[in-house]
Amino acid sequence: MVVSMNKFKPAVVPIFPPPDSEMSELCSVDNSSNPASDLPTVYFITPTYPRREQVAELTRLGQTLLLAKNIHWIIAEDSSFCSPMVSALLKRLQIPYTHIVGPQPLMYKKAKLRYSPRGVSSRRA
């Protein structure tokens, strides 16, 4: 259980939201790379949330992933809509990817916790 730091109204919410309160949406998928010989595919999962540094951090990470062979990058965004900047970045890098969104459940937003659990749903999307 996560407990609010507000001493007048403690909010108690479960650490993991019930499956029926979570929603996820597939933004886009690109599998258009030539697999290298007999190497297995490595699935690299990155949970993220919208902020100023998001595109810069994903750009740096994506450029590093360009050095690896047989990578499939899964970006799970904690948002209610597909970010056009993240989608454009993924297309520009030309790495095979899956871009999904899974917004934060309302139970966490309504609890008004001091430290909001970001990326909770996108980790399981």
**pLDDT tens digits, 75-109:** 988 888 888 999 999 999 999 999 998 877 766 66
**What's this model's pTM, rounded to 2 decimal places?**
0.71
Contacts of 86 (CB under 8 A, 6+ apart): 48, 54, 55, 58, 75, 77, 99
Give dist(CA 44, CA 23) in Å, integer. Answer: 21
- C-alpha angle with apex 70: 64 to 74, nearest 5 degrees? 70
- pLDDT for the residue numbered 86: 92
Tell me which residues of the chain have a pLDDT lower than 50.
none
